[in-house]
Structure 1
């Protein structure tokens, strides 16, 4: 397969199911590739539901050349500069906390991560839920009461140990005013209306002076739909959700075949 020639300047890449390998690790082959991209003036942007601190930890040795789309687009950073952030109203965040508490009291095996700008917060602290939250939140505080958190809240992440589809109906009415995204098999993210990876990528493009035609994007799941729309070179991973496969202009091998890395190498020629 060949791709159209492009003056490539920005590459936005989802993490889980896209860049990361089957064990959830950044492939070792990415590190020399990042050096090649930097030498050619191409910015690399992890675009994830993970918090900024987690992404920065994963790419600690390349922070000078990195830009980040964190919290599913609610927090965008270029180097030391914040491009954008989009905080929820405290009253709305509190209502979702109460709603998830009610779900748990009703027998649902769910937990909630309140994702602030400074840290993420949980009040459910059993080992099983803590292990899931620790995977995505490098800064994570256990608090007695989520309603007492004093931070700018960027996102509310609901985890259902069975399947996110079971918790989704209880949050469905929130779609009238807010963004509700199934971001994985077990996770549902609640954010302000208009917050998504695609809007974040457009803000990043504006900040960097980069066009859609100069942008490539890779994704595999439903929270990547808008990300792919914001890039002319859009790639669905072979393991992607059917809606992603239908939306992207091109296909990349699966994350288990290091499809992001091999495709970027082909784009570089």
Structure 2
């Protein structure tokens, strides 16, 4: 059982908190109230945009903290903690490169993740259905390269497998930028130094919380740094092997409401004075 002096819980969404059908476990809602009463902050940490996360937690009482866009956008309630935008020249160059990959057979969909909205210009029904799962504020435009917004991230949907196809094709973007596999089909491109772990550390500073007072849950490669930023790190039962290797604890799978089960155990422990 982790130290009961916990002040912050950061939770990945897909494959971690969310059930396989994409819903939030009903048992979480009363726990959020109890966490607030105990002075424990709760932060969804996701590749999803801020608008999507806020909509998903609209039923929660009080304000939550959010780590959105894989760490490129962090807020506490209505207060912005940090935002990290890509250079427009880099965005244009990378979009052109992705389009070239698509033209030679690596079927890709591109999402330009802006501060105000996400943008696509590909109307493939499979791609749009997947994109709408993660981006509530979504605009279909004529050309994503012409979008006028602060771009926090480029999200690339590989129709086959992002880890083995798209991510290696973009590997030379390092060390100036992050190329993160965030799902079987998704690869995210962000500025160097942007990840969920950096975001969590910024939130820790804003809250006056230490890693020893932090719990984090994750299951996939974009959660590695999130777990490294918390002394009480949990990999889900069916996590990616690299995630399982660095986590200090294991949680039951998302199909078993593993995050909720662990939090219930935390709240059953006596609070530290």
TM-score bin, normalised by smaller chain? over 0.9
Q: Which residue of 1 aligns with 2:182?
A: 183
For residues 4-55 of structure 1, what are the alpha-carbon distances to aligned partners after superposition, in whole Å with 9 as ceiling and x for unaligned?
3231110000000000001011111111111111111111100000000000
**Do residues 37 (structure 1) and 23 (structure 2) align?**
no
Give the superposition deviation at 1:167: 1.6
Q: Which residue of 2 aligns with 1:17?
A: 15
Aligned pair partner of 1:125 in 123, 126, 132: 123
TM-score (structure 1 length as normaliser): 0.97
Task: Verify the 8 A CA contact 1:75 1:86 in the aligned structure 2.
Answer: yes
Give the superposition deviation at 1:171: 0.8
Task: Verify the 8 A CA contact 2:167 2:180 in the aligned structure 1.
Answer: no
Task: Verify the 8 A CA contact 1:43 1:65 in the aligned structure 2.
Answer: no
**Do residues 263 (structure 1) and 259 (structure 2) align?**
no
Q: Which residue of 2 aligns with 1:170?
A: 169
Q: Which residue of 2 aligns with 1:56?
A: 54
Q: Which residue of 2 aligns with 1:109?
A: 107
Task: Verify the 8 A CA contact 1:18 1:218 in the aligned structure 2.
Answer: yes
Instruction: Give the SS at the match of 1:93.
Output: helix
Give the superposition deviation at 1:172: 1.1
Task: Verify the 8 A CA contact 1:74 1:195 in the aligned structure 2.
Answer: yes
Cα distance in 2, alignment partners of residues 64 and 37 from structure 1? 11
Q: Which residue of 1 aligns with 2:71?
A: 73
Task: Verify the 8 A CA contact 2:176 2:192 in the aligned structure 1.
Answer: yes
Structure 1 unaligned residues grouped into runs of 5+: none
Structure 2 unaligned residues grouped into runs of 5+: 269-273
Runs of 4+ in 1 over 6 A off after TM superposition: none
Instruction: Give the SS at the match of 1:179.
Output: strand
Q: Which residue of 2 aligns with 1:150?
A: 148
For residues 53-77 of structure 1, what are the alpha-carbon distances to aligned partners after superposition, in whole Å with 9 as ceiling and x for unaligned?
0000000122633000000000000
CA RMSD after TM alignment: 0.9
TM-score (structure 2 length as normaliser): 0.96
Cα distance in 2, alignment partners of residues 8 and 254 from structure 1? 22
Cα distance in 2, alignment partners of residues 203 and 167 from structure 1? 30
Cα distance in 1, alignment partners of residues 167 and 7 from structure 2? 37
Cα distance in 1, alignment partners of residues 252 and 2 from structure 2? 18
Instruction: Give the SS at the match of 1:23.
Output: coil
Task: Verify the 8 A CA contact 1:50 1:136 in the aligned structure 2.
Answer: yes
Cα distance in 1, alignment partners of residues 255 and 117 from structure 2? 31
With 145-154 and 168-177 compared, the bigger mean Cα shift is at: 168-177
Give the superposition deviation at 1:152: 0.5
Cα distance in 2, alignment partners of residues 117 and 83 from structure 1? 14
Task: Verify the 8 A CA contact 2:108 2:159 in the aligned structure 1.
Answer: yes
Instruction: Give the SS at the match of 1:225.
Output: helix
Instruction: Give the SS at the match of 2:22.
Output: coil
Cα distance in 1, alignment partners of residues 145 and 2 from structure 2? 51
Cα distance in 2, alignment partners of residues 256 and 36 from structure 1? 23
